[in-house]
């Protein structure tokens, strides 16, 4: 598919960028993401509403707050958010939905400096964004309750202290966390349906479209009105709303895009 110059859409959804992450720790597609954002900006494509559906900033193994205090770190933040801001038509809202990798707070809050940075740029920070058509939520709520979240964060903070002293432990810490502490993402059809049924119930979805991220699975379940935006680790995917039509799009190469699914409300 191609984007027509000057096109205005209702909304843009993207998640699981894990920005600031070092490739030595975990793979990512940040270079390709900037190619997408630059292409949309060059084509003057605009969106009334922007939804960052969680895990946008990697804050589990590196302190995003400390990085933001540095000149080089501030430039990296600006590099991403200046491009995202230019996608906004100015007639709607910009939502930053907090994901599990965005924070190490027991209360699931962004760090003060990151929060202040986003608010200054006009982003609405929330756990869930909702209107008459859709609900957008990161999705880790389907795996964590308050107690399992706090327990995981406690252990993660301990691992982070050791890893800060010895950088080679970052990789070990991540593997240890996922193997022994993290609840595994759904892999079978039964597990996937159970996970999204739980998420639907938690969000009181009703007949609205439920849009999430978290599992990194780029998918659409039409019978349940559910969409997962995928990620920028492997999928290179995003979702666009045009009226009552939601299109899941994958970037296959520089300036090349493939429409994977369309959900009509």
CA distances from 208 to 213, 224, 226, 244, 248 (A): 16, 9, 9, 11, 17
Q: Cα(79)–Cα(74) distance, rounded to whole angstroms?
A: 9
The rounded percent of the chain whose pLDDT value lies above 70 is: 90
Q: Which residue has the higher pLDDT, 195 or 176?
A: 195
For range 104-121, the mean pLDDT = 91
What is the C-alpha end-to-end distance of the chain, expressed in Å?
21
**With bands split at pLDDT 50, 70 and 90, how would you rate the model's confidence at 92?**
very high
Does the pLDDT at position 141 exceed 60? yes
Torsion of CA 27, 156, 215, 41, to 10 degrees: -50
Instruction: Choose among 221, 178, 56: nearest CA to 125.
Output: 56
Tokens linked to 112: 């003060």
Q: Tell the burial category of 59 from Cβ atoms under 10 Å away from its Cβ (0-12, 13-18, 19+).
A: buried
Q: Cα(126)–Cα(211) distance, rounded to whole angstroms?
A: 14
For range 21-50, the mean pLDDT = 90
Most confident of 17-31, 165-179, 182-196, 241-255: 241-255
pLDDT of residue 44: 97
Domains of the chain with bracketed CATH:
8-138+206-264 (3.60.21.10)
Instruction: Choose among 208, 245, 246: nearest CA to 132.
Output: 208
pLDDT digits (tens, 9 = 90+) for 154-163: 877 777 777 6
The rounded percent of the chain whose pLDDT value lies above 90 is: 65
Helix (H, G, I), strand (E, B) or coil at 214: coil
| Summary mean pLDDT of the chain | 89
Q: Cα(95)–Cα(99) distance, rounded to whole angstroms?
A: 12
Does the pLDDT at position 147 exceed 90? no
CA distances from 24 to 38, 84, 167 (A): 25, 26, 10
According to DSSP, the residues that pair with 50 across neighbouring strands are 12, 94
Side by side, which strands form the sheet with 209-212?
A: 128-130, 134-137, 209-212, 226-229, 218-221
Q: Cα(12)–Cα(204) distance, rounded to whole angstroms?
A: 22
pLDDT of residue 22: 72
Q: Which residue has the higher pLDDT, 161 or 174?
A: 161
Q: Cα(127)–Cα(96) distance, rounded to whole angstroms?
A: 8
User: What pTM does this model have?
Assistant: 0.91
pLDDT of residue 185: 66
pLDDT of residue 59: 81
Helix (H, G, I), strand (E, B) or coil at 83: helix
């Amino acid at each position: 598919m191609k984007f027509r110059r000057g096109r205005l859409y209702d909304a843009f959804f993207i998640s699981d960028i894990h920005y600031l992450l070092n490739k030595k720790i975990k793979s990512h597609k940040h270079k390709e993401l900037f190619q997408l954002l630059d292409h949309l900006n060059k084509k003057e494509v605009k969106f009334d509403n922007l939804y960052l559906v969680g895990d946008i900033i990697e804050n589990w193994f590196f302190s995003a707050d400390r990085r933001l205090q540095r000149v080089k770190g501030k430039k990296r933040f600006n590099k991403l958010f200046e491009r995202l801001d230019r996608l906004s038509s100015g007639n709607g809202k910009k939502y930053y939905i907090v994901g599990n990798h965005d924070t190490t707070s027991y209360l699931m809050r962004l760090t003060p400096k990151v929060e202040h940075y986003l608010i200054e740029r006009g982003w609405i920070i929330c756990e869930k964004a909702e209107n008459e058509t859709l609900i957008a939520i990161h999705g880790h709520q389907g795996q964590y309750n308050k107690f399992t979240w706090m327990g995981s964060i406690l252990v993660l903070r301990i691992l982070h202290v050791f890893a800060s002293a010895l950088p080679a432990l970052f990789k070990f810490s991540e593997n240890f966390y996922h193997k022994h502490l993290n609840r595994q993402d759904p892999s079978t059809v039964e597990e996937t349906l159970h996970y999204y049924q739980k998420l639907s119930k938690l969000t009181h979805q009703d007949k609205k479209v439920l849009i999430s991220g978290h599992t990194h699975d780029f998918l659409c379940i039409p019978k349940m009105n559910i969409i997962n935006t995928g990620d920028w680790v492997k999928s290179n995917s995003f979702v666009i709303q045009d009226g009552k039509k939601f299109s899941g799009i994958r970037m296959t190469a520089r300036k090349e895009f493939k429409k994977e699914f369309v959900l009509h409300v």
